[in-house]
Each structure stands twice: as structure tokens, then as C-alpha cells.
Amino acid sequence: MPPKHIFGPVLSRRLGISLGIDLIPYKTCSYNCVYCECGPTTDKTITRQAFFPTHDVTAELRTVLASRPHLDSITLAGSGEPTLSKSVGPVITFVKHNYPEYIMSVLTNGSLMTNRGVRDELALADRVIPTLTSASQETFERIHRPHPSLRIAAIITGMVQFRKMYSGAFWLEVFIIPGVNTTAEELAGLNDAILRINPDQVQLNTLDRPPVEGWVEAATDTELERIRDVLGRSDAGIVSRKPPISHVTKAMTEAGDLIQATLCRRQSTVEDIVRTTGLTGVEVTKILGMLERAGTVTSQRGTCGVFYAICQKNTPNEDS
């Protein structure tokens, strides 16, 4: 069986060859973002829990990392908000103590950076990448449909506080949705917030896979370049829609299990899976056809191609 908490390595557009760690039951999050590639949130919460025994995660890591595979990052990410897990600090500490040659990254929506304990745990990582879409509460709620207790002003303050105490690499993802957070007023608010947060790098990102809500559209390269100019930051980069081709070490030997493990965490095209797994296009197409006929995966055509995902009824139960 594929690992329960470890996925990939995947070829990340931002992080290169990345081994993912998912500490959260499927779609447990503080947000229910309109653009999420993983589907709608089923458990919206801000309560931190020990969802899984930490030793189960570290045991999987020992197995996967035993051969010291080439990785650009070991990344806390997955299908929900990782900082909801009380295992964040212990898992980061385990990796840094036992595998110091690897860069430890955290992808977070930033909502729990209001919590001092969360900030202390994130400070153990080499690289932290939170998301910001707006400084306006109204727009924040429209995009993220957050837990009702969350306020964007407090979240921004939490990011500011974290930045002051953090010595690692702080990258701020700014996710762009045309017509929602692209007005002059919205961009002015974002600019003020970015200046306060003072990240090492700003990454402009936009839709790349089928979203939860069909009305969400991807920003064009021209629009992203305009926004970069408006923000006026020399460190603002545009996240490429296509990662560079690279050889990725397989985390599992069975091709079908490898593809399913990838799709459990992320909708992907045939090309994405080829780049992620190292399988050939013919192999991937054949296996996807078999899985689709068996009702294990489903396909959906989007503006960027045909994306495959695990059927809802076949989504693994993280509590089992």
C-alpha cells in the first residue's frame, strides 16, 4: 500500500522536486476557497488537533528517505491546512534533526499565524509560504469563505509578527482572481499589507487546475505582469504554469498505486503525471484508462486540459 501521510515526490511549480507530508484528514481546513483544486472543505475548523500519531508520520518518512533520494524540498502541504495539526512542530524537528540536508518547507494559508504557538512551530522550518489574496474583509470572505471567527486584519498582523521573529526564507504567495482582487483599491490594500509583512519574496499565482467554483478564472500573463508592475516589487515573481521537466525518483514501485497516490492529493493532467512519476505518456494513459473504466478516477476538461482526480467514493479515509 502507498504511504498514508507521505505523497510524491511531485514536481512543484514553485519548489521543484518536492516530497509532500499531509498531516490533515481530507479537506479539513480553516477556509473553503473558491479556487481550491482539492474540492470543497468538508470540515471547516480553526481548532488544532493531533489528527494522527506523529510516530506514524515519522515512520513513513524513515522508509521513504532511507535511500536519501534527491529532493528540492520536503513540504508540509496536502488537502487541508497543515497548521491545524499539532504534529507540525514535532515533524519539522524530526526532519531537521535526522535529515538536515533537506530543505523543510511549509505551504500554509496563514490563517493560524495569529496563534503564537503556530508561529513558534513554523519558525523551525527552513521556508514558510503563506497565502494572501486581499486586505479587505469582504473580498477575503468572498474568496476564502473562511471560518466565521477569522479576520484578515488579524491574519496580516500575525504574518507581520512571524516575519519579525523568523530567520528562514519567507515567501508570500499572492493568489490572483481577475475581477475580484485586481481593482486599484484591492491592489493598493495588498501593497500596503505586503510592505508591512516584508517577505523575502512575493509570488504571483493564479488558477492552474479546475476550481471548486466554476466562475473562477485564471489571470493571463499580461494581467499578472500588470499587477507585478502595480505592486512595484523587484522580488515579485510570476509562478510558471508549467514546471521544468525533471527526473523524479519514484516513491512507490507499483505504477497504479503511484498514480492514485498522486491523484488523491492533486488533480493532474497526463503530462503532470508523466513529469511527477517518471512514467511514460503511454503507460500513464493506459493506466488512467483502466482506472477510469473501473470507476476509480474521473476526468474533467478545463481551460488548461483534461484533469484526472480520484472519484469521491474512492477517496481514502484518513482515519482508517
Give the tens place of pLDDT for each residue, 41-58.
989 999 999 999 999 999
Cβ–Cβ contacts within 10 Å for residue 247, how many? 9
In this prediction, residues 58-87 reach a mean pLDDT of: 93
Comparing C-alpha atoms, which of 204, 162, 209 is closest to residue 187? Answer: 204
Between 31 and 288, residue with greater pLDDT: 31
- The residue written with cell numbers 521544468 in the block is 244
Q: Is the pLDDT of residue 70 over 50?
A: yes
Strand bridging mode 6-12 / 305-310? unpaired
Collapsing DSSP to helix, strand or coil, 305 comes out as strand
pTM given for the model: 0.78
Domains and CATH numbers, the chain: 6-238 (3.20.20.70), 255-314 (1.10.10.10)
